[in-house]
Structure 1
């Protein structure tokens, strides 16, 4: 259903507000440079600092600007099941192609709670669901048997996963349990190359915000089975993968974008502070290494 280089888009701010013109330019730039789908209002989009009106406005603008050229998969997750359903229903009305739903954070549901949460969403909205497992942020780890149960219980509704657990063996567990048609996407740019060997088909990427063409070329090589070319590209991108997490995300990513384009600022919202001098140095070196500055 989805594959290749899928940026988890930043949400540009200017003077404290959502910068719609910059976001529209970002969407166009991503599509023009080979991104195969777009994920607005995810973690990298600072969804945790957006109010609900802003959250829905970013989704609306992304879908409008993409204009059907690539799929749009908005972040709709919440630690409240009713709120997640509301985001899904709004996204569906606006024309989204699927919803990315993070495991509920902070309240630490059990595996039974995760199954009940995602089942409720699948049964009450027919927008396809991409599960998002990122235990380093949510504390809750969606175990492979839970993922398989959900995929089998809700075929056509729960259609894939963005996995950022760092555990590549889970790809095999998902594949053998949920079937080859279950869409597996990496949530870790540095692990994407290895993930392809196990059965992933793309990455919901932070780095693609900054280097969309290079990321698109890397994923195209992987999908074509050209692993010599993929390794070459991966090694060029690797310093940028690391630099974009040299400080709290997405501040290094926004700094990098501000270095590349005069139409976007490095502004983040508290509690995300501007990135440190050390992070800026790492980003600058990585951008130079790729020939982007």
Structure 2
């Protein structure tokens, strides 16, 4: 594997918008009481689908200019509680969405869970991922779908290095993505992708696959890594490239709360940012959708 390249140019911001400025709130205490803190995003059929930390709803965004009939919350019957919903992925084989729940206690063990939805938000089922987690809040943080020989596989990104919590989880160089194959009762663990050791991210927030390209974003490191997957099996074929997010005029991190990433095109990605501390430089960018272009 070749060494990781570090781009000298930051990602280029194309457009961004506050999520709350794009959506009318439907009836229902769950959504009315929420502040719309996005935790994941995926692109399908030209629209962005968002999930939230504080709502069980799924939003569909097509128009970035403001509130529009093209932007709406999907059927409120998606149900369930919003806690620990971390990412959303689209499966092109079934045409369904999968939403990742970070950690659920099941028979005395902590497991991540995947909720399955029809395109209009109707719940279809739920199943556990066959991977025992160490801690409640340091489980799987990102979700994507990869098709191999016509069969979908789920990619679950660990939040901490070596899938650990605490100080060890924040020691860079141990990025891990677990691969799951659908079984009759749960998603079976079949492989693991080890990110290059030179990807020195403190944490990992989201993963997105498009063709043979894989993107991983980090909150704490305020950076994006893009690599190439092998044509068969589950492995990273090269060292890839690290891109940093733009900073403010004082060289402070302003994109330090990025929670989700998805490919828009070969050179553009859409991302969402979660809630930030009000007095931090990232506050102006919180709870927003962003589109970034890769530097030429």
Larger helix percent:
1
TM-score, structure 2 length as denominator?
A: 0.34
Larger strand percent:
2
TM-score, structure 1 length as denominator?
A: 0.34
